[in-house]
Amino acid sequence: MRKIGPFRSFLLWAVWVGGSMGLPAFPFAAVMAGLSAGAVLLWPRARRRAKAVALFMLPLALGFWLIHGGALQLFFGGSVQPSRAVWALGLWLRILSVISASQLWLEYVPPPVLIRSLFAGRLPASWAFLLASPLLLAEQIRTRAAQVREAQLSRGVPVHGTFLERASSLTALVFPLVLGMLNELPARSAALDMKGFGLFPRRSSLAREGETGALPALEPAPQTFNGKVAELREAAFLAPGETKPVLEIPEFSVAPGDTAFLEGGNGSGKSTLASMLSGAVPEHRGGSISGNVRVLGEDVTARTCLAWSPDVQAVQQNPVLSLSGCTFTVREEVAFGPENLALPPAEIRTRVERALDLAGITHLGDRNPACLSGGEAQKLALASALAMTPRLLVLDEAFSRIHPADRHSLASVLRRQAREEGTALVVLEKPGNASSPWFPPAWHFRDGRLLPGPSPVCSRRPAAGSSLFPEKKDDRPVLVIDDLSFRWKGETSPLLRSLNAVLRPGERAALTGPNGAGKSTLMRLCAGLLEPECGAVLLGGVPVGSMAPGERAARIGFLFQDAERQIFHSTVAGEVLFSLRKSALSPDERMERMRQALSATGLSRKEEKHPLDLNSAERRMVAVASLSVREGDLLLLDEPTRDFDPEWQARFEEWMLSRREAIVAVSHDPEFTGRLFPVSWSLGGGRLTT
C-alpha cells in the first residue's frame, strides 16, 4: 500500500470531521464514531491514545447527562424532553468521532514528521517555525522552571503548603523564568538571523528531494575581495540614551586568512564588538554605532544582521540559544542555515558534511540537538556557522565549554581552514588563560577601549590564604554525611553508595570528580533539596531533610551553577534584600547589611541597577551578595568561579575567605581548589574519598 503523506491524511481528517459534524447524527455520526473509536482501540500504535480519548469523553458524557439528561429538571420540578436527550447523545457521538479521528491523525503524523513536512511544504516557513520552535522552548522552560524552583526553595521560598503560600511563591517562580527568557530574546533572534532564516522568499529543503526548480540564484559574491575583511576606525558603540560610548575602537582590522585574538574581561565589550561586526546593532542590540565600521569594504549598518548572514557569522557563548528549534537531528540543524540560503541540495549536503567534519562531530550527526552536552552543543553551533561559509567568523567565547584538549585541535583546524579559504577569524576570550589555543593575544579591551597588545597582568593578587579561618573553639562538626546513599527514581544502580564525610566549622572542602559523578547531586542532598535513599546528612546534628525550608535557608547558603537564574527583582538592592525578608532586623540594619554585602562583592554603587543589565560576572555576584547578607553555618558553592575573569575571580576569592561558614565547593579548576581548599573530597564510581 502506498503511504499517504501528512497533507493528504490531513485532508482525509478534515473530510471526516466535516462528515461527523454535518451529516445527520443517526446513523452517520454514530457509525463514524464507532469506526474511528474502534480504530483507536484496534491499531496497536494508537492504543496508548485510547486513554486520552476516554479521559476526555467520559467526563463529557457525565456533563451531557447532567445538563441535557433531564434528571435535574425533574428534581427542580420541570419536564423532561426526550428529544433533547437524543440530540445530546448525537452530539456526544459526533464529538467522539472527531476526537478519535484526531488522535488517529496525530498518531499517524507525529510532531517531527509534521514539522519536517511543513518546512518542506509550500506554506511560508515562518508558520512552520512558529509550530516547531515553541516545542523546544517549552522543553527549555520546563528545565529552567525546575532550576528556578530549586534556587528559590533554597532561599526559603515555600513551594508546598496552603493555597495562599503557593500563590505568593508563584511570583518568585514565574518572574525569574519569564524575565530570564525575555532577557535572552535578542541573542535568540540574532542567532535565527545568522542562520539566514527568511532571507529568501523560498528556502530549499533536503526533505524535498528532486525538486531543484525555481530556486533563486545567490547573488555571486565578490570572491576576489582583497581588502581588509573588517576594518574599524575611530568607531564607538553608544547605548540607547547615553552620550558616553560603552566601547571605543580607535583602530582595528583583520585581513582575509588572518586570525585576530582579542582578550577582555567580563563586561569589557567583547559581545558588543561581536554585535557590531555581525550587523546586530541596532536590531538586536539597542544603541548606535558611530565612526567607521566596514565589513568587506561595506558600511556595516548598510545591511541588517539577516542580510549579513551569508558573509558574517558570529558564534555566541551559550550554544543553547543558537539552536533553531526546528530540527530533530544534528545534521538537520547544520543544514538549516544553508537551506535558508536556498542552495541546491547537493551543495547543502557537501557543506553539512564538511562542517560536521571540521567541528569534529560527524559521529553526533543523528543525535537530537537538544540533548547534547555543553561542549558538544558548542561544536554544533560552530558547525552551523561554518556551513554558512562566512568570510568573517566571530567566535565570542565560543569554546568555553569544550574540553581543553579539543580546543587546541579545533583552533588549528580553524586556522588552517581560514588560511585556505581566505576567511578572517575574530576570536574573543577572557584574559589570563595562557593555555588558550589562540595565545598570544594581539589585542585587549581595557576601560571601554580596544587596544593593541596583550592585556596587562591582573592588578589584583590572587588570594593566598591557604590557612584555615581562625577556628572556633567549639570543634563539633557542622556537616556530617553519614552513610549516605542515593538513587535516581527508575535507575537500577545507586549513584552514590554509603558516603561518609565530616566538615568542621570554618573548614573549606573542594568536591571534585568527573562529569556525571554526582557532585551536584551530593550538593543538593547536603542542602536538603533531595531525599537520600538511606543514611542522612546532618547539620549541627539535625537531619537537613527534616528542617523547615525557612530554617534550612537561614543556615545553608547555596550558590547554584546558574545562580543568575533566581533573579527577579528590578534592582540589585531589591534582589539582595529579598534574602532578609524574614529576618528580625530593623530596616536600617537591613540596609547596612545590604551595603556591606555589596561592597564585599564589588557591587557598590550598583544598588539601583537592573540585575539583568549587568554583565555575567556582576550578575553572579548579585547572587553571591544575596548569600552574603546572612550568616549561616554552611555554604555550598557549585562551580562558583566559572565565567569569572581574573579580576572578578580574585574578588570572589577575597569574599570567600572572609566568610566564617564552612564551605563545600564543586570546581573543575585544580589551581583554585589546590590553593584555597585544605580539605579535598573526591567523588568517583559512587564513592567519596576524603
Partner 1 sequence: MMKNRTLVLIALCIALNIGLGQAASTLKLPIFLDSIGTVLAALLMGPWVGMATGLVTNLLWGVISGPVAAAFAPVAMVIGLVAGFAARKGLFRTLGGAVIAGVVITLFVTLVATPIRTYLFGGVTGSGADFFVAYLTAVGQKLLQSVALTVIWTNLVDKIVACLVAQAVVRQLPGRIRSLFPGAENVA
Residues 41 to 60: which contact partner 1 by CB under 8 A?
A: 52, 56, 58-60
- CB-nearer residue toward partner 1: 181 or 530: 181
User: Which residue in the block uniquely carries the three cell numbers 570567600?
Assistant: 656
Q: Does 161 bind partner 1 (CB under 8 A)?
A: no
Which residues in 585-644 contact partner 1 (CB under 8 A)? 610-613
- Residue among 6, 16, 17, 320 that touches partner 1 (CB under 8 A): 17
**Of 192-200, 215-223, 541-549, 654-662, which segment contacts partner 1 by CB under 8 A?**
192-200
449-452 and 443-446: which strand pairing? antiparallel
- Residue among 328, 399, 443, 568 that touches partner 1 (CB under 8 A): 568
DSSP state for residue 29 in the 8-state scheme? I
- CB-nearer residue toward partner 1: 68 or 651: 68
Q: Does 179 bind partner 1 (CB under 8 A)?
A: yes
- 514: CB partners within 8 A, 6+ apart: 684
Measured from the CB of residue 476, what is the shortest distance to partner 1 in angstroms?
Answer: 40
- Residue among 39, 50, 85, 141 that touches partner 1 (CB under 8 A): 141
Vertex 19: Cα angle to 13 and 21 (nearest 5): 105
- CB-nearer residue toward partner 1: 103 or 641: 103
**Could you give the count of Cα atoms lying within 13 Å of 295 in the half-sphere of its Cβ?**
30
Q: Are 182 and 311 in contact (CB under 8 A)?
A: no
- Residue among 98, 273, 394, 627 that touches partner 1 (CB under 8 A): 98
- Residue among 22, 78, 514, 670 that touches partner 1 (CB under 8 A): 78
Retrieve residue 46's grid coordinates.
Answer: 494508537
- CB-nearer residue toward partner 1: 43 or 175: 175
Measured from the CB of residue 559, what is the shortest distance to partner 1 in angstroms?
Answer: 22
What distance in Å separates the CA atoms of residue 377 and residue 379, rounded to the nearest whole number? 5
**Of 97-105, 529-537, 547-555, 621-629, which segment contacts partner 1 by CB under 8 A?**
97-105
Measured from the CB of residue 655, what is the shortest distance to partner 1 in angstroms?
Answer: 25
Q: Are 97 and 33 in contact (CB under 8 A)?
A: yes
User: Which residue in the block uniquely carries the three cell numbers 469523553?
Assistant: 57
- CB-nearer residue toward partner 1: 74 or 221: 74
What distance in Å separates the CA atoms of residue 685 and residue 357, rounded to the nearest whole number? 33
Q: Does 648 bind partner 1 (CB under 8 A)?
A: no
Which residues in 282-341 contact partner 1 (CB under 8 A)? 283-284, 286, 306, 325
What distance in Å separates the CA atoms of residue 646 and residue 171, rounded to the nearest whole number? 36
How crowded is residue 57: how many other Cβ atoms within 10 Å of its Cβ? 19
Number of residues that bind partner 1 (CB under 8 A): 78
- CB-nearer residue toward partner 1: 240 or 490: 240
Measured from the CB of residue 564, what is the shortest distance to partner 1 in angstroms?
Answer: 12
Measured from the CB of residue 529, what is the shortest distance to partner 1 in angstroms?
Answer: 18
**Of 183-191, 311-319, 345-353, 659-667, which segment contacts partner 1 by CB under 8 A?**
183-191
Measured from the CB of residue 163, what is the shortest distance to partner 1 in angstroms?
Answer: 8
- CB-nearer residue toward partner 1: 421 or 613: 613
Residue 509's nearest CA partner among 687, 677, 683 is 677
Residue 415's nearest CA partner among 440, 437, 385, 442 is 437
Q: Are 522 and 509 in contact (CB under 8 A)?
A: no
DSSP string, 520-585: HHHHHHHTTSS--SEEEEEETTEEGGGS-HHHHHHHEEEE-TTGGGG---SSHHHHHHHTTTTS--
Q: Which three-class secondary structure state does DSSP give residue 279?
A: coil
Which residues in 224-263 contact partner 1 (CB under 8 A)? 239-241
Residue 348's nearest CA partner among 387, 386, 384 is 387
- Residue among 137, 542, 591, 657 that touches partner 1 (CB under 8 A): 137
Q: Does 198 bind partner 1 (CB under 8 A)?
A: yes
**Could you give the count of Cα atoms lying within 13 Å of 257 in the half-sphere of its Cβ?**
8
Q: Does 92 bind partner 1 (CB under 8 A)?
A: yes
- CB-nearer residue toward partner 1: 190 or 372: 190
- Residue among 11, 54, 123, 178 that touches partner 1 (CB under 8 A): 178
Which residues in 381-400 contact partner 1 (CB under 8 A)? none
- Residue among 30, 96, 157, 188 that touches partner 1 (CB under 8 A): 188
Q: Are 634 and 544 in contact (CB under 8 A)?
A: no
